[in-house]
Structure 1
Amino acid sequence: MRYQSISDMDEELLKREYDLDEDNGCTCNFLRHNCRDQCLNKFPWRRLLKSILTLSILMMLFFGMALIILLTPNQPTVEFKSMEVSNFTISFSLPSPYSNWNMSATWKTKFLVRNPNRRLQISYSEIVTAVYYKKERLWSAEVESFCLEKESEKTVVSTVEMRAPTAIEEKAAFEMEVDRFKAGAVEFNVEIGGKVWFKPGSKWMWGKQSVMAKCENVQARVLVEKDGSISLVEDGSRNCRVIFSLYKS
């Protein structure tokens, strides 16, 4: 279609109307300003529906974040309480395929485990304690599972009796004997670790988590009993370094 002038074209455009909603009778001119807003004003339920949906989404996000914050656990704390080693003996045996040095003793270690969470319980399982001399593991033992209520604590005792001499590395045996005679004390590294999960709700959110408490540089004093046996005693409390898999970088 050819137009004689610009005014003819404008007049033709003004005649065009676009029905935005035929069922509800909302008809707007092509060049009319705020056409869509005018139609929406005729049907306020649309804006109300949008507002309700937007508010619902925001509330879901808010409560979801609040739930995560409430159920995010604080890591348990572990305090080393004491270690008693009785009938401590290091002996040398005839050459064998493994080691010429053996050790026998009865070990008793105590830990104080705390749950700092105000809203969550902690369940412990697969608990293992171990004692090292430097990098040499001297022994390890399993501990019975237990549960801590909110903001509670429990003393965990691990006892290992080495009735039969246990082979150890020659270097570790020699250095322990040197420490015992020269320094009057032997320094150990003590560990306790296992699996934990939190209740209520955090088991399905976080699953089982690994936790390991390292109590380093535990100095056990050498005591000579009346019967001539050697004992090592350390009763100084100290906080242990806790490695929690949930916060492990």
Structure 2
Amino acid sequence: MQDSSRPVTGYPVQNLNGCAPTPTGYAYARVNPITHPYYPAPPAQDPRSTFLCCLLAAAAVFFIIFGTILFIIWLVLRPQLPDFSIQSLSLYNFYAANQRVNATWNAQIHISNPNKKLSISYGEVVSSVFHKDYLSETRIGPFVQSTRSSGAVGASYSMVDSFVDGEVVDEMNEERRGGEMKFNLKMLVDLAFRYGGWRGRRRFLTVWCDDVSVTISSGKITSGPKSAAFIEIIVSSNFCSFFNMF
């Protein structure tokens, strides 16, 4: 006969005082927030956005490396712009009346290359003469200047019965009566730096030599050589500073 004092299998064991045993675990199972229906799973990562991030990171690394290489090249070569000055300016056959001008100018333009490692290749140079207004222009053919060298190029300007604004004609005649006339010379220079077989990108400079005085008695420049007063770099690129030298 079965002992009634023994607990039945499958039922909780009761204490001797008749109370239910103290629970030793949680009443409910632990909920996994990732798989539980009330906590939706995180969305899958878009492969296109991952590719875009990788592409942007690669582009950033490329530009950093490229900029570092250019900076090292600049430190080694140290490109410097050439120096310009007017060595002489002569005026002949000047006549101005009734808004018509006849004149001939001959100029010697001194150009110096201060670079120790870079030669300079010049394309066509367009030079103009002004007297508070455009008067005449001429063109100088291409040439190459070696490192640490200097030389002069000639430029001739002429006007034959050319129309000029009346105020400019009056001012020139007034200066002429005073025995001295002042002209401004402008040069649009096309150049590129060279290092051995390597040649940098072409750049354009605007060079101004202002108030070059010429005596009427001799028709020649009054003072000594006149250095360029202003040099402007014309850049057709999104890069700035020293990167534009290459």
- TM-score exceeds 0.5: yes
Change (3 A) 1:237 1:129: same
> Structure 1 residue aligned with 2:88, among 76, 82, 85?
82
TM-score, reference length from structure 1: 0.62
Secondary structure at the residue paired with 2:75?
Answer: helix
Aligned to 1:174: 170
Deviations 1:209-238 (A, max 9, x none): 1112211111111117xxxxxx45445212
More strand by share: 1
Q: Distance in 2 between matches of 1:124 and 1:61?
A: 27
After superposition, the C-alpha distances for 1:24-67 in whole angstroms (9 at most, x for unaligned) are: xxxxxxxxxxxxxxxxxxxxxxxxxxxxxxxxxxx999776432
2:101 touches 2:161 (CA, 8 Å); kept in 1? Answer: yes
Give the alignment partner of residue 213 of structure 1, picking from 207, 210, 215: 207
Alignment partners' CA distance in 2, 1:174 and 1:238: 25
Structure 2 match to 1:244: 233
Say whether the 8 Å CA contact 1:85–1:107 is kept in structure 2: yes
Unaligned stretches of 5+ residues in structure 1:
5-58, 93-100, 225-230
Residues 72 and 202 of structure 1 are in contact (CA less than 8 Å); yes or no, is this contact kept in structure 2?
Answer: no
Deviation at 1:165, TM superposition (A): 1.0
The structure that has the greater radius of gyration is 2
- For 1:113, the equivalent position in structure 2 comes to 111
Residue in 2 aligned with 1:131? 129
Alpha-carbon distance in structure 2 between the residues aligned to 1:218 and 1:114: 19
Q: Read off the aligned partner of 2:171 and give its amino acid letter.
A: E
Q: Which residue of 2 aligns with 1:67?
A: 73
Alignment check: 8 A CA contact 1:130 1:141 kept: yes
Q: For each residue in 1:160-191, what CA deviation from the matched residue of structure 2 results, as whole angstroms up to 9, or x when unmatched?
A: 233x311111000011101111x211111111
Structure 1 residues 129-172: Cα deviation after superposition (integer angstroms, max 9, x where no partner):
111112x111011111111000111201101233x311111000
- Assess if the C-alpha contact under 8 Å between 1:115 and 1:150 holds in 2: yes
Q: What TM-score, normalized to structure 2?
A: 0.63
Q: Which amino acid aligns with 2:224?
A: G
The aligned residue for residue 51 of structure 2 is: none
Q: 1:159 to 1:67 in 2, by over 3 A?
A: same
| Structure-2 residue corresponding to 1:27 | none
For 2:224 and 2:122, locate their aligned partners in 1 and report how far apart those are by CA, in whole Å: 25
Q: Within 2, Cα distance between the matches of 1:144 and 1:68?
A: 29
Q: Is 2:113–2:145's contact at 8 Å kept on the other side of the alignment?
A: yes
Is the CA contact 1:88–1:232 (under 8 Å) kept in the aligned structure 2?
no
Question: Counterpart of 1:118 in 2: which secondary structure?
Answer: coil
1:196 is the counterpart of 2:194: no
Task: Give 1 or 2: higher helix fraction.
Answer: 1
| Higher relative contact order, chain-length normalized (CA < 8 Å, sep 6+) | 1
Structure 2 gap ranges (5+) = 1-23, 25-64, 236-240
- Superposed CA deviations along residues 74-126 of structure 1, whole A, max 9, x for unmatched, are 1111111111011111122xxxxxxxx11111110111101111111101112
2:104 partner letter? T
